[in-house]
């Protein structure tokens, strides 16, 4: 029986490329072993059939960023467990190729209350992590809040400017009615519990909260519990 050979070495000999290029092909999901995609350059090969996709590109695998529609009742730190291949939404038009490595070391960003649903960002990309952490206070977020109760006089004006939270005055924000039972907020530097608090200050009880947008990135019509890739080139 032949001694096993690493897949990257086998591929390099097969197509006449460097080991570094072979590793990029493999980690990019372009290589099949006996018809199955294998992404590990160190995978042992004995007599299996190794094939390179005709449209393969030897380039470093970029870190992934996912956009999830978090369900209400799930803590933000638990949201990464929903980002699995079976929950990949059919409406994803990013053209990012789904790779096993994309589901490792995902960090959720941008605080969202456990009882709220809506857009959550999870990333492996240090550039995205730095952008969202450092610019959190400047990025506008949009929410739709279902409420009950009777709005106090001048309540909408107070919601937009003039209230405080945890002893600090809140900066102006944009508030409007979506319909008779829902308010839309466009707000920066929102803190956990803030929307529930300000609604209570004007006589309203929050029934549910959903985050629709972070910066320029919108939730769109993605179903609850599903996720999609952030397309290459799109920015918050």
Closest CA to 199 of 232, 165, 171: 165
pTM: 0.87
The pLDDT of 194-210, averaged and rounded, is 98
Q: Output the CATH code of domain 65-136+217-229.
A: 3.30.70.580
The CATH classification of domain 5-52, taken from the options 1.10.357.10, 3.10.290.10, 2.60.120.620, 3.20.20.80: 3.10.290.10
pLDDT at 42: 93
The pLDDT of 164-189, averaged and rounded, is 96
3-state secondary structure of 18: coil
Q: Output the CATH code of domain 140-214.
A: 3.30.70.1560
Fold equal for 65-136+217-229 and 140-214: yes
- How far, in Å, CA of 75 to CA of 171, rounded? 27
Delimit the domains of the chain by residue range: 5-52, 65-136+217-229, 140-214
CA diameter of the chain:
85
Average pLDDT, the chain: 94
Q: Is the pLDDT of residue 1 over 80?
A: no
pLDDT in tens, 56-111: 988 887 899 999 999 999 999 999 999 999 999 998 999 898 999 999 999 899 99
3-state secondary structure of 227: strand
pLDDT at 47: 85
Is there a contact between 22 and 41 (Cβ–Cβ < 8 Å)? yes
3-state secondary structure of 162: coil
DSSP E strand stretches across the chain: 5-6, 31-33, 36-37, 44-45, 50-52, 65-70, 107-109, 117-123, 140-149, 164-165, 168-169, 174-179, 182-188, 204-214, 217-218, 227-229
- How far, in Å, CA of 118 to CA of 211, rounded? 4
């Amino acid at each position: 029986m032949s001694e096993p050979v690493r897949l990257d070495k086998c591929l390099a000999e097969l197509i006449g490329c460097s080991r570094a290029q072979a590793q990029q092909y493999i980690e990019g999901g372009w290589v099949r072993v006996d018809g199955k995609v294998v992404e590990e350059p160190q995978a042992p090969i004995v007599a299996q059939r190794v094939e390179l996709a005709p449209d393969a590109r030897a380039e470093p695998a970029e870190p992934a960023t996912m956009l999830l529609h978090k369900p209400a009742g799930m803590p933000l730190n638990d949201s990464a467990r929903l980002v699995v291949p079976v929950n990949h939404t059919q409406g994803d038009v990013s053209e990012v190729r789904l790779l096993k490595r994309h589901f490792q070391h995902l960090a959720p960003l941008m605080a969202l209350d456990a009882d709220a649903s809506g857009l959550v960002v999870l990333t492996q990309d240090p550039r995205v992590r730095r952008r969202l952490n450092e610019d959190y206070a400047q990025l506008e977020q949009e929410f739709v809040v279902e409420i009950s109760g009777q709005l106090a006089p001048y309540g909408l004006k107070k919601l937009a400017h003039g209230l405080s939270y945890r002893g600090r005055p809140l900066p102006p924000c944009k508030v409007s009615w979506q319909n008779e039972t829902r308010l839309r907020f466009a707000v920066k530097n929102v803190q956990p519990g803030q929307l529930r608090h300000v609604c209570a200050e004007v006589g309203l009880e929050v029934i549910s909260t959903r985050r629709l947008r972070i910066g320029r990135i919108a939730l769109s019509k993605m179903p609850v519990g599903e996720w999609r890739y952030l397309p290459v080139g799109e920015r918050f």
